[in-house]
Structure 1
Amino acid sequence: MSARTGSVKHVTSTANPLIKAVRALHQRKARAESGLFLAEGHKLVLDALAAGWTPTMIVAMEPATDAVSDLGARVRALGADVVFANAAVMEKVARRENPQTVIGVFEQHLADPKTMPAGTIVALEEPRDPGNVGTIIRTADAIGAAGVILIGSSADPFGVEAVRATMGSIFHMPLARMDADAFARFAAARPGPMIGTHLAGSVDIRTIDAGPSHILLMGTEQSGLTAALAQRCDSLVRIPMAGKADSFNLAIATAIGLYELRRPHL
């Protein structure tokens, strides 16, 4: 337990410096500079606490329900500050009407890929859509993956949209960022094959045996894998399609790939 008990404040103005600082976390630049991010929702904060994450602060709707008051007391005992705000302020903080009753402010945590245990790693090369990134983190958690790696310039997994799409899995799934060269070195040193999905893939993903430890490598939403990383894959696979569409949404394709590769081990 923290030696410090968090403070309690009541705020009624959107001009309050604390509120301005929290609102700024909707911007990637502010998240990068502060190392903080927002998690919206009472349940999401509870999920974080259960996973061992303590917020630096929560902003809670006033008048508070018993459940919100209990949560406030719990996080204060862990050293987090509690800011109670009226509905108008909460709408500004959330940048949406009908906001959640609790918004948590957390420190970002990134994993060292070398500490990821044997199993399935999902690697995403420069994904652009934060909703896809969040959904893939959630799916990786559901399948029991060892971790998710974002390669190169990608959507921010700690943005509000991405965090919302994880449905709490941001607090459970080891997450790393690497540039392409560092990832290539990591993949070469890690036991097990690297399987890439590619429109030119010659192997039906349903037929491949990737073993218990492997990397599933996915490309961008628009253009797929770059040639440089595709050439480093042990196999390039395709997901068969019978209709007129020429591709899947990235999150859907990743989910299919994960379940096919993990099927023998579920």
Structure 2
Amino acid sequence: MPQTGKPQKTGAVKQITSHSNPIVKEIKGLVAQRKHRSQSGLFVAEGLKLATDAIAADWGVRYLALGPDARDNPIAQKAAATAKARGALILEVSTAVLSAMTRKDNPQMVVGVYEQKLLGAKDIDPAGATVWVALDRVRDPGNLGTIIRTVDAVGGSGVMLVGDCTDPFAVEAVRATMGSLFHVPLAKLSKDEFKSLAKNWPGTVAATHLKGSVDYRTPDYQVPSLLVMGNEQKGLEDDMADACSTLIRIPQVGEADSLNLAVATGISLYEIRRNHLELS
């Protein structure tokens, strides 16, 4: 992120034609390996929309790779100029090199490498918040990305990742956010940190749970709300549920034994925010 009062380092433009270029290998590693993403603090996001969202939100951009179609696109050129002014390296590459970077036969015209942002438990301030979502051991990157997108849509304040969760910076998760990753704060918490936070949370702490006896439409959700959702396969662990003030359930009448995690989270979020949302 640009720092006021300090000289801004200007980036550069580099043409890359070889699949074996070290930067291409670096980007491929970020796409494929969580370990590489964790060690570097970087991640890959594909597409012009995500690039413009990241730049508008002042996220740090390390590389912005432009394919042939991007060179005649005024939006892509503006994004590249802004990223370069902030110190990013702009890569002019062929479609084949883009494919090598992303491991996709039909890559997007723009591929960006961005700096990760993750809050800790001490960074979460309920004051002024609307609703946070806490996810216990979520494993599917598509679910996680969709939930981040839904939190953004309802005007939520952030997403807490509790315990061993899937990587929010995996390409599949980032893609599912449709750019909301750059607008929704993410926090990483241990189970004990979550319990301590939930114990002192000033608003409603509601969790979906099989033991829930309260229809999700019944509670008078107090702001700031905290919605707690469990693992896709095993649900919410009992000790996590015990840390919540209200256990809710979504009624079902068909033969399905459960709802998809992202769907259940979306239904619950829109009910929690029902009195605060209006068509514009």
Give the TM-score normalised by structure 1: 0.96
Q: Structure 2: which 5+ runs fail to align?
A: none
Partner of 1:81: 89
SS in 2 for 1:56: strand
Aligned to 2:37: 31
User: Which of 126, 141, 162 is residue 152 of structure 2 equivalent to?
Assistant: 141
Q: Which of 55, 65, 72 is the aligned partner of 1:65? A: 72
Residue type of the partner of 1:114?
A: I
Matches within 5 A, 1:123-202: 123-202=134-213
1:188 to partner: Cα distance: 1.2
Query: 1:230 and 1:156 mapped to 2: Cα distance?
Result: 23
Instruction: Provide structure 1 residue ranges, at least 5 long, that are not aligned to the other structure.
Output: none
8 Å Cα contact 2:55/2:79 also seen in 1: no
Rounded Cα–Cα distance in structure 1 between residues aligned with 2:57 and 2:81: 18
Structure 1 residue 15: Cα displacement? 0.4
Which residue identity lines up with residue 47 of structure 2 in the other structure?
G
Give the counterpart of 2:53 among 38, 47, 51: 47
Sequence identity percentage: 48
- SS at 1:155 equivalent: coil
Q: What residue number does 1:12 align with?
A: 17
Aligned to 1:263: 274
Q: Give the Cα–Cα distance (whole angstroms) in 1 for the partners of residues 203 and 222 of structure 2.
A: 7
| Counterpart Cα distance in 1 of 2:147 and 2:124 | 21
Decide whether the 8 Å contact of 2:131 with 2:157 is kept in 1: yes
Corresponding pairs, count: 266
Instruction: Give the counterpart of 2:233 among 185, 209, 222.
Output: 222
Aligned-residue CA RMSD in angstroms?
1.3
Question: What are the residue-to-residue correspondences of 1:76-115 with 2, within 5 Å?
Answer: 76-112=84-120, 113-115=123-125
| Maintained 8 Å contact 1:127/1:133 | yes
Q: Shift of the alpha carbon at 1:16?
A: 0.3
Query: CA offset at residue 248 of structure 1?
Result: 0.3
Task: State the secondary structure of the residue aligned to 2:243.
Answer: coil
Q: CA deviation at 1:238?
A: 0.4
Question: Which stretch of structure 1 is more off in the superposition, 150-159 or 51-60?
Answer: 51-60
1:21 paired with 2:26, answer yes
Distance in 2 (CA, whole Å) between partners of 1:168 and 1:244 is 35
Please identify runs of 4+ aligned residues in structure 1 that moved more than 3 A: none
Greater mean deviation of Cα atoms: 66-75 or 24-33: 66-75
Residue 72 of structure 1: how far off its partner (Å): 2.0
Quote how far apart the aligned CAs of 1:54 are. Answer: 3.3
Are the counterparts in 1 of residues 198 and 244 from structure 2 also a CA contact under 8 Å?
Answer: no
Q: Is contact 1:212–1:265 with CA below 8 Å preserved after alignment?
A: no
Measured after TM superposition, the shift of residue 194 of structure 1 is 1.1
Residue 194 of structure 2 aligns with an amino acid whose one-letter code is: F
Distance (whole Å) between structure 2 residues aligned to residue 70 and residue 47 of structure 1: 13
SS in 2 for 1:199: coil
- Alignment-derived partner of residue 250 in structure 2: 239
Aligned AA (1:156): D
Q: Map Cα deviations across residues 206-241 of structure 1 (whole Å, 9 max, x no partner).
A: 111111211100000001000110111111110001
AA aligned opposite 1:3: Q
Q: Which amino acid aligns with 1:58?
A: L
Distance 2:9 2:139 in 1: 40
Cα deviation, 1:125-166, whole Å, max 9, x if unaligned, reads 000000000000000010011111000000100110000000
Residue 248 (str. 1) matches residue 255 (str. 2) = no
